Each structure stands twice: as structure tokens, then as C-alpha cells.
Amino acid sequence: MSNQIILIIMGIIVAAIVVIGIAYYIMSKKMQKSEYKKIQKLQQGTKSGKFSPEVMYQKLYLVYRKIPFIKRYILKLRRRLEILNIDDEYATRRDSAKIITKALVILLPLVIITIVLTKSNFLLMFILLMFELFMIDILIEGSVDKKDDSLLLQQIDFFSEIRHAYHEFNMVEEAIYQVSLDDEKEVSRQGEKIYEILISDDPETELEKYYDVAPNNFLKEFAGLSYLTKEFGDRKIDGGSLYLKNIDNIAQEMQIEILKRDKLNYVFRSLSFISIAPVMLLEPLKSWAVTNFSFVKDWYYGKSGMIVQILILIITFLSYILIRKLKDNGSVNMNTKNTQNPWQEKIYKNKFFKKIINLFLPKDGTREYKKVKDLLKDSASPLKMEWVYINRICIAIITFVASIFVFMYLHSVAIDYVYTQPSSDYNLIGSSAKDEKKAMEITEQDNEFLDMFRGKIDTTEKDIEKAVKRSKYYRDAIPEEITKATERIYGKLQVVNSEYLKWFEILLAFVFMIIGYMSQVWILKFQVKMRQLEMEDEVMQFQTIILMLMRIERINVEMILEWLERYSNIFRSQITRCVNNYEAGAWEALEVLKNEISYMPLIRIVESMQAAVEKIPIKDAFDELDSEREYYREKRKESNERLISKKGMIGKAIGFAPMVCLFVGYLIVPLVFIGLTSMSSTMGSMTSSSF
């Protein structure tokens, strides 16, 4: 570089510094004259010289939103958290960033260590990284569930304080306002929202909006009862306030729910980890078996061992998904997916893809269409019909492509094994390091012949024998050595030349594609079965709601149905149809509802509603619920015990399935089968040598 060029560069740098200095001077002058100076003075009294984790999490949230992979997780996480932190963007961002940061602090070191330790084994690296992603997913879900459980516990104290405040002010909205002044608790934000609804110009509309975002049914019930009490007034029942009695009922329901969640968490606490633990144990078990029993080395490093590994990975993945579906206790709102414009909707808007997808979609009015529609309703899935079929098509394509790649990889593994493994016969006694080295030298020699004849399918043993005789390795060899080498190389060549994608493997890929296409439907059916387990619990919740509403002035059957629809899950579609048809004929709509359901306790509730429509007052129609309140409460506790027991049994069967497959299919069976085969061949060779 000449001196002239250096001077030009220095001149440009000096000019840039001068321009920046002038710009800074002009901007500082303008700031002194503007509102900026006033803002600085206001900030001086509020700025803290100490490190603030709150500010750090707010900044980290903005950073995470810009990182592609993490952005998906943080948006999914905040959709759940913003339900808990209602109208509090600051808390939602803080909690989202805090949970993601905690997950990354654990994940990043694990990923780095995994990549460093397994850089020579890509399969092991993939297995470990998948395991770590599952673990982080469990951590994130557990963090949100923990916050939701904490909110439920806070509600117990919140309702207790409401009782005292109501005695003092004798006004629903004032009692809620006073108790909600504590900004430290998450439940206070919910109380503030309910207070704003009660004092708004259109509380009914605002209440309906709140029902869509309330974290749990108990806050919905509290908000609805508070509105009804404010509108229609309170009543004295057995010398006490009906409003406070209803709050007691909600509190008792919450206590039952808290106990149920605690027991479910206890039962499933380790099942998620147990279901994915086999992924971590695959390679250690393989190393242990090969080190201690050398006769199984061919199996573990060959195609058969790889097939079993892949099957265990698939079983582990399915078990993990089913355990997650089974554990779902309805905390927060589980349907937090973006149902407005997900990737499925974007695909369906494309004209080309829409034509293809419509070929698979069942026609409206057909039996298949009704079947899938009912399945979506019964499983409470937020997916549309089109999205389900987009998922099914995508899963089918991915399964087919992945199957082809797996088959090609298995062929590659078999060929690689022939080229890299020592050429020696292993038996129960094993081999020494010297024998291992000699066997490896033979393998390297054989590889030259394999490269010479690879791909030539018409190669005969005589062709190989000629090449062996001409080679430098067997110039002075005796005929027996040449014959043995020829047979060994020919056997290897047969394996290498036969390892290519075959027609039946493509057929198998199509079979797997069909299984992948059906998997979405099977998962929905599994969700339906799990929801049916909670049928009794939902009907008992209906009974509690009716108990709270039956003594309120001006309550009618239509309002009760609207409340049941709002809190229903399993029977939502049937109750919704009844509400929609109610104005056309109350008794007839209830009769249709009764015919659509088969669960007897709910049928009895519907029959009581029919009596309340035509013959007797509501409180008389449901009089037995009031008189047997304690019995129903104890029955619900016992029902929850049965539910937890059933879920626990199913969960253990699913959760331990990968572990059983690992030890039985990947360790015990190979050791026993190959060990017995090797022993019999060794005994046979010893017998023949003795003669």
C-alpha cells in the first residue's frame, strides 16, 4: 500500500470524526431546548445505580423476539402467560423472558458439551439433542403450570378476604376493589379486571369477553356470580348471605381441584422423564454390551442394531406425546395455539395447495365429514377441518421421505460396517489387542478388493481368486489361505452389492406413510378417550353450578344452560345445540339434548330442567342436589381418586414402554439369542476339531 493511499484513508477517518462531532453538538443543543431535558430531570429521581433483573428481563425479551428459533417458543409461552397476567404486558414479558432464560442457561451448556463429545457420532448427537429439547419442553411447561397452580392457591386466600370485605361494605364491587389493592399477587390483577367489568357501562358484554380469557373456571364462576348478585341483589338463605355461600362452594371446588392437581403432578412427576430416558441410555448400553460381550458387536454396529435403535426412538417420541396428552389437567387454557393465522392457514390460502388439499377433504354432508367433525368436537381440538388434513398430508409426506432416508442410511451403515470392522470371527472367549490389530489389517487389505469389484454384480469367486493371487498380500500364501481370503472377500462383496434401495422398502415406506397419515386421527381418538375419563367429574361440576344458581332471583333454565355451556368441555357441543334451539321450544330442545347423551347422571339433570320448564320452580326441581350436597361432594372426591388411579395406570404403561423395549429388545434379547447362537457354533467347532 502506497503512502498516498494511507493519507487518503486517514483523511477520510478524520473527516468522519469531525462530521460526527458536529452532528453530536447540534443534536445536544436541540435536546436542551426540547422536552428531552425535562424527561431527563424526571428520570434522575427514579434511576437506580444498582443492577435490576426486572429491566434485564425486559431487554432480554426484546432480544429473544428477534431470534428465529427462540421467537417461536417465546410467542407460544406468552400466549399462556398473558392469560395469567391479564392486561399486564410488563409481567408477561418479564415472566416469558425469565422462563426462556432459565431454559437456555440449562440447554446451551448441554448442547455445547454434547456437540464436543459426540462430534464423531452424528446419530448419538441427534439422540442427545432430541433428549435435551424434550427436557427443556418439560421445564417450560412445568414453569407455566407452576404459576397456574400458584394462582389457584392465591384464589383461596382471595375469596376468604372477599368474605370479610363483603361483611364490611355489603357491596360486591367495593369488596372486590378493596381486596384487589394488593399488587404483589397475580390474583389481584384478576380481581381488578372483574371490578372494572362490574362498574362498566355494559357489564354483560365485558363479562363475555372475560370468559374467553379467564385462567380457570373458578374465576369465571366468581365473576358471573358477582355480576348476578350486583344486578339482582343478595338473599338470606338459612340466616346467611347466598353470595357468600356460593363463594364458599367455589372455594370448596377449588380445594378439590388443588388436591386433584397435586396428586396428578405427583403421579406424572417422573413419568415424562422416564418416557424419554431410554434415548440417553442407548449408547451407554451398547458400549457396555460390546465391551463385556464381544460376540454381540456385529449385531449392535450392524443394520439390525440400528433398526432397533430407530424403533426405540419412535416409541419414545410417541410415549412422550401421549404422556403429555394424558397429564393435561386443564390448567390455564391449553388451546393456546395461534388459531387466527397459523402455518396451515397460510398453506390453504395458496391456490395450488388448496386444490390438492381439497382432493383429500371429505365433502360436506358425507358420513366421513360428520365423523371427523364429531371427532374434533369430542376431542375439544382447536383445529379446523382443513388444518387437520393439511397436518395429515404433511405428516404423511415427511414420514415417506424420512423412511426412504432411513432405509438408505441403513444400507450405508451395513456397507460401512463391512469396510471398517475387523475381519475376524468372534466367540465367547473374545480376542486380544494383537488379534484385533491383525484383523484390522486384513480388513484394510480386503477393502482394496472390494473397491475393485464393487458394483459389478456378475463377479464370481474365480474373478476374486485371480485378483487375490496377483496381489502383493498373497504372493507367498498357501492355497488354503487364498481360498479362505477369496471366500471372505466374496461374502463381503455380496453384502456390499446387495445393499441398495429395494422395491419392498419403497412399499414399506408407503405403509409407513399411511400410518403417518392416520396418526393425527389416532391422537384425536386418544384425546377423546382421555376426556371420557373425566366425564363424571364434569357432570359433578354441573351439579355445583346448579346449586349456586338455583336460589338466585330471576334465574331460569335458559340461564342455567348458558352457564353449563360456558363451563362444559366434554358435553359442550350437545349443550350448545340445546341453547341454540331453546327459543324454538324449551322442552323439545331439552328432549333432543337428553337423546344425544348417554351418561345417566347428566340425563337426570336434563329431566329436572324439563320439570322446571313446565311444572315446578327451579329450586324445587333440583331440591335433591341441595339436600344431598355433602354426598355429592364426597362422591366427587372419590371420583377424582378413581380418575387419578386410571390415569396413573395408563400413564405408567405408556411411560415405561420405551424403557421395557430398551432393556428387552436392545439388551436382553440380543445377548441371549446371539450368545446361545455363538455358544452352539463354538461347541460345534470344538466337537468337529476333536474328531
- Return d(Cα 139, Cα 317) in angstroms, integer: 17
3-state secondary structure of 236: strand
Residue 333's nearest CA partner among 151, 524, 73 is 151
3-class DSSP string for 113-129: HHHHHCCCCHHHHHHHH
H-assigned helices in 269-336: 271-292, 297-301, 303-327
Percent of the chain scoring above 70 in pLDDT: 85
List pLDDT tens digits, range 518-547.
988 888 888 787 777 777 778 888 888 888
- Return d(Cα 219, Cα 86) in angstroms, integer: 12
Does the structure show a pLDDT above 90 at 19? Answer: no
Residue type, 413: V
- Return d(Cα 131, Cα 112) in angstroms, integer: 14
What's the Cα-to-Cα distance from 608 to each of 129, 348, 546, 570, 604, rounded to whole Å?
Answer: 57, 46, 11, 20, 6
Percent of the chain scoring above 90 in pLDDT: 3
List pLDDT tens digits, range 457-489.
888 888 888 888 887 777 777 778 778 888 888
3-state secondary structure of 237: strand
Judged by average pLDDT, the poorest of 29-33, 56-60, 116-120, 378-382 is: 29-33
Of the ranges 414-418, 478-482, 587-591, 619-623, which is most confident?
Answer: 587-591
List pLDDT tens digits, range 332-350.
344 444 445 577 888 888 8
Residue type, 115: I
Does the structure show a pLDDT above 60 at 691? Answer: no
Return the pLDDT at 36.
Answer: 46
The DSSP secondary structure of 470-495, one letter per residue, reads HSGGGTT--HHHHHHHHHHHHHHHHH
* Structure-model confidence comparison of residues 496 and 334, the more confident one: 496
* Structure-model confidence comparison of residues 397 and 449, the more confident one: 397
Average pLDDT rounded to a whole number, residues 299-321: 84
Q: 42 pLDDT band (50/70/90 cuts)?
A: very low
Residue 373's nearest CA partner among 364, 551, 1, 238 is 364
* Structure-model confidence comparison of residues 117 and 34, the more confident one: 117
Does the structure show a pLDDT above 80 at 64? Answer: yes
Average pLDDT rounded to a whole number, residues 66-93: 80
Q: Which residues contact 422 (CB under 8 A, 6 or more apart)?
A: 436, 439, 440, 442, 443
Judged by average pLDDT, the poorest of 50-64, 555-569, 624-638 is: 624-638
Return the pLDDT at 34.
Answer: 46
Please give the helix or strand (H or E) that residue 241 lies within, else none.
strand 240-241
List pLDDT tens digits, range 207-247.
888 888 888 888 888 888 888 888 888 888 777 888 888 88
Which pTM value belongs to this model?
Answer: 0.70
Terminal Cα-to-Cα distance of the chain (whole angstroms): 88
Residue 687 exposed, middle or buried by CB count within 10 Å (0-12, 13-18, 19+) = exposed
Does the structure show a pLDDT above 70 at 121? Answer: no
Place of cell 379446523: 384
- Return d(Cα 281, Cα 191) in angstroms, integer: 49
Return the pLDDT at 510.
Answer: 93
Does the structure show a pLDDT above 70 at 139? Answer: yes
Place of cell 431535558: 37
- Return d(Cα 9, Cα 7) in angstroms, integer: 5
Average pLDDT rounded to a whole number, residues 183-204: 85
Q: Do strands 240-241 and 236-237 pair parallel, antiparallel, or not at all (unpaired)?
A: antiparallel
What's the Cα-to-Cα distance from 207 to each of 201, 215, 218, 330, rounded to whole Å?
Answer: 11, 14, 14, 21
Q: Which residues contact 482 (CB under 8 A, 6 or more apart)?
A: 465, 468, 469, 474
List pLDDT tens digits, range 642-689.
888 888 888 888 888 888 888 888 888 888 887 777 666 666 655 655
What's the Cα-to-Cα distance from 359 to each of 38, 343, 344, 346, 366, rounded to whole Å?
Answer: 65, 20, 16, 18, 14
Does the structure show a pLDDT above 70 at 25? Answer: no
The DSSP secondary structure of 551-590, one letter per residue, reads TSTT--HHHHHHHHHHH-SSSHHHHHHHHHHGGG-HHHHH
Residue 265's nearest CA partner among 113, 150, 160 is 150
Average pLDDT rounded to a whole number, residues 290-308: 80
Q: Where are the domains of the chain?
A: 421-501
Return the pLDDT at 511.
Answer: 93
